[in-house]
Structure 1
Amino acid sequence: MIPETLPFSIAALIIGLALLVWSADRFIAGAAATAKNLGMSPMLIGMTIVSIGTSAPEILVSAIAAIGGNPGLAVGNALGSNIANIGLVLGITALIAPLPINMKLMRKEIPLLLGITLLAGAVMIDGQITLVDSLILVAALVLSLLWLFKGDSDSMADQEEEIPDMPQGKAIFWLLLGLALLIGSSRMLVWGAINIATSFGISDVIIGLTIVAIGTSLPELAASVASALKRHHEIALGNVVGSNIFNLLAVLPVPGFFATVVIDPDVMGRDYLTMAGLTLLVAALIVIMRKKGKLNRLEGGILSLIYIGYLYTVYLAAI
């Protein structure tokens, strides 16, 4: 029997996702403009506010889920978002238009993502995420940021263009309103997701891997598709790599700060291996296609099909 609250739960999930995406954009704009008005350098703003702010939806969803006693949703959100970023975002974007390969990305960010993926597996291999594990991942985040932005004048120039100009009063208004809506919409989304999972008798991990992960990956998908349609899609690959790094180092450790998280064996055997396999596949495709300088529709089709196959596997596990 379907609970009477199910329609409200579905509505909360949809509205929560929509508000989450919108408020994250407002929060980042307000925070970046506030920092700029206070004299912070564009590179430092990019390293901290913009970079971490883009992962704010996933971080808050994970924190609220962990506080509410649903750490499985938090872990599923982190791994599921990475899988969706590669299979869904890169796959669909490459189907629309070929993705140019940046050689700096191949030499710097891709090896870093591969290393971080192995680190995430190492801290989860014992079947749990502890406070020590979370501290290790956050320490790796700080070191990764310092290494990525050290002497990177291109990133500094790019971030300066992205930081909006607005009066300090307006910037603080959007900063505070965006933060309040981020927290409220995250609570709404988690409440709806947990109720839906309970109604259908499936685990919160599955909800985190699918509905929540896809929802929190929608901004990357929308931005990448829009850029591809405008033929300004050279940043799509870099954005996905950067987002995946932050998901593993800033989102995955969140539940471990509240309590030791026991990881379902399926998470390591199915979800982590899928994420690691897709990450390795993208790295291999970039190396193979480096002479052509782009990932074509064939590669995009392969990534998309793998993601569809993964969703079907998760669906079979849920029924």
Structure 2
Amino acid sequence: MLLPALAVIGGLILLVWSAERFVEGAAATSARLGLSPLLIGMLVIGFGTSAPELTVSALAAGQGNPGLALGNAFGSNIANIGLILGLVAVISPLAVHSSVIRRELPVLGVATVASALMIVGGVINRWEGVLLLLALLVFMVVSIVQSRRGSAVPADALEADTETELAAHPMTLRKGLVLTAVGLALLVVSSRVLVWGAVAIAQGFGVSDLIIGLTVVAVGTSLPELASSLSALRRREHDLVLGNVVGSNLFNTLGVVGLAAVIAPIDAGVEVLQRDWVIMAAMTVLMAIFALGWRGRPGRINRVEGAVLVAMFIAYTGYMISLVAQGGG
């Protein structure tokens, strides 16, 4: 059991480091190629921080562990909202100004509901995986078209935050390409090590790979979002913090689950819908309510609301750890 544990720890460390390099390189490369800061904030940074979930889930599904892939996606969404967004809001309340994020939140809500409809049947099959990937593609194309037509608000807060972030990591096109390639290669290597260790631990404790995916792997693959969010918080880029979480969760729900299902159909027991999806959906709804505001209240996530999200994450994680200790799930 020692070797698998070391593999998970070492894999996570390398995964976090390589993910940060990949996002930095991809963002800088996109800027050098003329992509607008708004699109970089929406797609490259927001979705790029989900690269660990994508590589881990794809490898897990390809190796016959699709439960680990589903657990990784849903567990990462829960960690992104509860651990990352909640913790950041406790440290410093987040004001939400971006109209782009306000448009993305309903899309995330629809994607969350769609994932539940697919789970109801007990299996997310390949055709459903294709539908999820197509939905993601449509969203990306529409976002690009809207940005090029100037339909997005020119002075959107997310765009301003992204420009600040890019200015903090200036690099040439060549360096950006090299960093992107190196980061991607190490993502694959670290994901292989992590998946092997996680599966071995699951087998050793007699629990399902779904449980391990929802706990250890999910939190580990969410660490890049935590690092980028804390970095953005130091620069008071509040909209980039929320943009990272919303973009990452949208990509996890559509892209990560979709790709894993295309590689291998995912068995989803009733506990996934009644336990994991319910907590993910509840936290998504709360995040949207806090961020969008209501009855004239401006969109912001204050310390109390952040603490509520953190408490939900701690309670859920504590329950999942108890399942591991009992050898259940």
- Normalising by the residue count of structure 2, what TM-score does the alignment of the two structures yield? 0.86
Is the 1:220–1:240 Cα contact (8 Å) retained in structure 2? yes
CA apart distance, 1:33: 4.1
Aligned to 1:24: 19
Aligned to 1:69: 64
Given residue 125 of structure 2, which amino acid in structure 1 is its aligned partner?
A: T
CA apart distance, 1:289: 8.0
Aligned to 1:312: 318
Is the 1:32–1:50 Cα contact (8 Å) retained in structure 2? yes
Given residue 213 of structure 1, which amino acid in structure 2 is its aligned partner?
A: A
| C-alpha distance 181-59 of structure 1, shift in aligned 2 (>3 A) | same
CA apart distance, 1:44: 5.9
Given residue 220 of structure 1, which amino acid in structure 2 is its aligned partner?
A: E
Cα RMSD of the aligned pairs, angstroms, is 2.5
Match of 1:85 among 75, 80, 89: 80
CA distance in 1, matches of 2:43, 2:298: 34
Q: Report matched runs for 1:186-201 at 5 Å.
A: 186-201=191-206
Aligned to 1:3: none
Q: Does 1:182 align with 2:187?
A: yes
CA apart distance, 1:200: 1.2
Q: Deviations over 1:42-97 (max 9, x none)?
A: 56666654444321111000011111111101000000011111111121111111
| C-alpha distance 272-145 of structure 1, shift in aligned 2 (>3 A) | same
Match of 1:15 among 10, 13, 21: 10
CA distance in 1, matches of 2:280, 2:201: 25
Match of 1:300 among 306, 309, 320: 306
Q: For 2:121, what is the secondary structure of its paired residue?
A: coil
Given residue 320 of structure 2, which amino acid in structure 1 is its aligned partner?
A: V
Q: Deviations over 1:23-45 (max 9, x none)?
A: 12222333444455556665666
Aligned to 1:125: 120
CA distance in 2, matches of 1:272, 1:177: 35
Given residue 317 of structure 1, which amino acid in structure 2 is its aligned partner?
A: L
Q: Report matched runs for 1:69-218 at 5 Å.
A: 69-102=64-97, 104=99, 107-149=102-144, 150=146, 151-152=151-152, 153=154, 154=156, 159=162, 162-163=165-166, 165-218=170-223
Given residue 182 of structure 2, which amino acid in structure 1 is its aligned partner?
A: L
CA distance in 2, matches of 1:134, 1:142: 12
Q: Does 1:256 align with 2:264?
A: no
| C-alpha distance 114-168 of structure 1, shift in aligned 2 (>3 A) | closer
CA distance in 1, matches of 2:60, 2:240: 31
CA distance in 2, matches of 1:301, 1:129: 34
Q: Which moved more, 1:122-131 or 1:156-165?
A: 156-165
Is the 1:101–1:290 Cα contact (8 Å) retained in structure 2? no
Aligned to 2:297: 291
Q: Which moved more, 1:42-51 or 1:143-152?
A: 42-51
CA distance in 1, matches of 2:36, 2:101: 27
CA apart distance, 1:309: 1.3
| C-alpha distance 225-37 of structure 1, shift in aligned 2 (>3 A) | closer
Is the 1:98–1:295 Cα contact (8 Å) retained in structure 2? yes
Q: Which moved more, 1:173-182 or 1:57-66?
A: 173-182
- Listed as ranges, the gaps of 5+ residues in structure 2 are none
Match of 1:239 among 241, 244, 256: 244
CA distance in 2, matches of 1:87, 1:41: 30
| C-alpha distance 281-65 of structure 1, shift in aligned 2 (>3 A) | same
| C-alpha distance 47-236 of structure 1, shift in aligned 2 (>3 A) | closer
Is the 2:46–2:244 Cα contact (8 Å) retained in structure 1? no
Aligned to 2:274: 269
Q: For 1:109, what is the secondary structure of its paired residue?
A: helix
Q: For 1:276, what is the secondary structure of its paired residue?
A: helix
- Listed as ranges, the gaps of 5+ residues in structure 1 are 1-5
Given residue 48 of structure 2, which amino acid in structure 1 is its aligned partner?
A: G
Is the 1:19–1:185 Cα contact (8 Å) retained in structure 2? yes
| C-alpha distance 256-234 of structure 1, shift in aligned 2 (>3 A) | closer
CA distance in 2, matches of 1:290, 1:10: 50
Q: Figure out how many residues of one structure are paired with residues of the other and give that number.
A: 314
Is the 1:78–1:251 Cα contact (8 Å) retained in structure 2? yes
Q: For 1:235, what is the secondary structure of its paired residue?
A: helix
CA distance in 2, matches of 1:167, 1:227: 22
CA distance in 1, matches of 2:17, 2:188: 12
